[in-house]
């Protein structure tokens, strides 16, 4: 289940970064055409893009830490759950779906059992 959690966290991070970049490109096109009537709307979308990029970058780093086995499972799963579910309250459920993939990966990682190898 640890490999599944690693793959899900990597996929969720890539999806989140990709979605934020597509949203940023669409916002820039809208601004160039003069389609943004209210600057507050553009600022709100920009802050959502920043949150998504930050969570995606953190998720990518955590997935590499899980893959290399350089950190504890509890800390990694806690980080994935936090960046997977907490920003959804800010960005909304529709924009937060890629983040939820990382949250599910954190839950799977928390439920996975570590193999303890004891030397005799």
C-alpha–C-alpha distance, residues 39 and 16, integer Å: 24
Residue ranges for the chain with pLDDT beneath 50? 117, 120
3-class secondary-structure state, position 92 = coil
Sign of CA dihedral 17, 51, 102, 56: positive
pTM of the model: 0.81
Mean residue pLDDT across the chain = 83
Instruction: Please write the tens of the pLDDT for every residue from 55-77.
Output: 889 989 988 888 887 778 888 88
Instruction: Please write the tens of the pLDDT for every residue from 4-13.
Output: 888 888 998 8
């Amino acid at each position: 289940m640890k490999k599944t959690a690693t793959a899900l966290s990597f996929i969720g991070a890539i999806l989140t970064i990709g979605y934020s970049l597509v949203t940023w490109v669409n916002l820039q096109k809208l601004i160039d055409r003069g389609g943004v009537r209210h600057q507050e709307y553009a600022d709100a979308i920009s802050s959502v893009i920043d949150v998504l990029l930050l969570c995606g970058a953190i998720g990518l780093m955590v997935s590499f830490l899980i893959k290399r086995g350089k950190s504890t499972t509890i800390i990694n799963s806690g980080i994935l759950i936090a960046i997977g579910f907490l920003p959804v309250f800010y960005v909304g459920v529709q924009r937060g779906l890629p983040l939820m993939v990382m949250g599910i990966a954190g839950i799977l990682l928390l439920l996975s059992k570590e193999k303890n190898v004891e030397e005799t």
